[in-house]
Amino acid sequence: MKDKLYFPDFKHFNTQEIPVTIGDFANSFQLLEYYRHSTELGYAQGFVSYTSPYLALKLLPWVSNRMWVESLYASYLYTKGSKPYYEFGYSITQISIFGGIGVFVGFEGEKFRSVGIKASIKFDGEVSI
């Protein structure tokens, strides 16, 4: 029995396929299908994000006084036996008290795979029940 692996034993990756996510866009794949790259074999993944209040929109005069924060994202996933998956994104957060919106694009190998617009809801306080 030790040489058998079942689906729950595979490595499953952090994907946020639904259009509204709770929390931040960082450290997860926004467009990757839930189990598309799940694997029992070797894998490599990486996430990079850069956040600044002065990327692009603050340079425009009619939005320069907003409290918005802009972020850039890059994500990478390689699973043995599959083409590498890349994802890039841009988001604006703190649009209201706790909201954000982002646009993401995904590639599998050198081929375009998908594009999507996502919304985020972020709560900074603790929730007690």
Tens digits of per-residue pLDDT, 28-84?
A: 989 888 777 777 788 889 999 999 888 888 778 877 777 888 999 999 999 888 899
Rg, Å, the chain Cα set: 17
Please state which of the ranges 1-5, 107-111, 124-128 shows the lowest mean pLDDT. Answer: 124-128
Would you say residue 128 has pLDDT above 60?
Answer: no
The Cβ of residue 120 has, within 10 Å, a number of other Cβ atoms equal to 20
Spatial distance between the Cα atoms of 124 and 82, rounded to a whole number of angstroms: 38
The Cβ of residue 95 has, within 10 Å, a number of other Cβ atoms equal to 16
Residues 6 or more apart whose Cβ sits within 8 Å of residue 26: 47, 49, 71, 73
Q: Measuring CA to CA, which residue among 111, 93, 79 is closest to residue 49? A: 93
Spatial distance between the Cα atoms of 110 and 22, rounded to a whole number of angstroms: 30
Instruction: Give the strand order in the sheet containing 69-79.
Output: 20-22, 111-121, 99-108, 85-93, 69-79, 43-52
